[in-house]
Amino acid sequence: MTWLWIGYVLLITVFFAWIALVGLRFKGNLTQETLPANPPSVSTIVPARNEERNIVRCVEGLLQQDYAPLEMVFVDDDSRDATPNILAHFAKGDSRIRVIGTGGKPGDWNGKQWACHSGYEAATGDWLCFMDADTYAEPDLISRTVAFALANNIDFLTMQPWYEIRELWERIVLPVGLPPLLLASPPHRVNNPDDPMVMANGQFILVRREVYENAGGHAGVRSKMMDDFSLAEKVYESRHRIYIVDGTDVMRVRLYANLREIWNGWLKAAVEISGGWAKTLGIFAINLLTNIVPFVVLIVALLTGNQDAAVIMGLSILGVMIYYGAIRMLAFRAPPWSAVTYPLGGLIVTGMMLDGMFRLATGREIKWKDRPVMGTPEVPVERIIGNRELPRA
């Protein structure tokens, strides 16, 4: 039995080492490139619904960009708070800012897609940069990403930013829930033009205007649950190059401020963001086996006097705590002490995934920003295509 526990711990070690290797391979891949003498015009498009807590920081980050041919389009998505007034104030002080409304969401559209589509119709740039209102852009965000895209013939550039975790629940849940997504959509596979795997992060999508239009834009994914993943699939199917970069040096995001926001935000992503039902169930099982079961085994071993199992599981748990402490420092730039709470984080992630999967499987309503979200998870592109080559331009 002792060898069984040792084998189990080795599998846990391999899993976390795998995540670490994928993350290290991804880190720093947004290299410095030189912009051409006459860079293309860029329109940032930021949909904002009830974002009075975040929108000031978002606008201020974009106003300090060192990229000259820049237009900033902010879309007030029927906000009920101070968001429209804040945006109007900024627009008075800078002619680069345009603030538009959505005119009300049509019944067959999700709200986020309609706001992005409204922004696209108002934008004039050669490149479109869709960003969320909870983002903060460092001064070189647009210049670095545009230069990188042009230098590498990229049509659709997305990124993983620095996720800020300030409060207790953020530090407990996000470092446990986010890293495994690297295995669901490994960046090196997404960036391989011969690999059919695609993904996107709607917090930042930089896309050539003609590519966006060829793919059907947000109109083509109007009722999808995950607009970013679905748009990336459309771009891939239209034979254009998708690329994801490590954006931790150029953009930061604070996803959620409390446990309720974390839970509601993950509900709509529980299945589709992982790449479909099979991958989601796999992540669910791995979360149980790596973050929860070892603690259960340790408790049972202590209660029954099984010293070998107790020592082996205790060492495993200590090693995982060290791993999560390192993740907090290196990936989230946060103190490592909250790593001791990782089993609680695993339990919460399990609960969120179960809730999301149950709602999707039973057709129950999922809401975001006080509006129902349409759409159900679909078979990801890589399963539809299989190993058949789909060349990209």
Residue 265 confidence class, pLDDT cut points 50, 70, 90: confident
Least confident of 109-123, 273-287, 307-321: 273-287
pLDDT tens, residue by residue, 68-85:
999 999 999 989 999 999
Q: Is the pLDDT of residue 377 over 80?
A: no
Domain extent listing, the chain:
2-22+275-385, 37-258
Could you please report the per-residue DSSP string of 120-161?
HHH---SEEEEE-TTEEE-TTHHHHHHHHHHHTT-SEEEEEE
Band of pLDDT at residue 283, cut at 50, 70 and 90:
confident
Closest CA to 163 of 343, 334, 19, 326: 334
More confident residue, 276 or 320: 320
Q: Which amino acid is at 196?
A: P
For the stretch 208-226, pLDDT in tens is 999 999 999 999 999 887 8
Q: Which two tokens stand for residue 318?
A: 């200590």
What are the pLDDT digits (tens) for 143-185? 999 999 999 999 999 999 999 998 999 999 999 999 888 888 8
- Answering whether pTM is above 0.85, one says yes
CA distance 113 to 117: 6
CATH topology of domain 37-258: Spore Coat Polysaccharide Biosynthesis Protein SpsA; Chain A (3.90.550)
Q: Which stretches of 185-335 are DSSP H helices?
A: 187-190, 209-214, 227-237, 259-267, 277-287, 293-304, 307-330
Residue of 91, 86, 51, 49 lying closest to 71 (CA atoms):
91
pLDDT tens digits, one per residue of 306-350:
999 999 999 999 999 999 999 999 999 999 999 999 999 999 999
pLDDT for 361 beyond 90: no
Strands 70-76 and 42-48: parallel
For residues 275 and 182, the answer to whether their CB atoms sit within 8 Å is no
DSSP alpha helices (H): ranges in 27-154?
55-63, 83-93, 111-122, 141-151
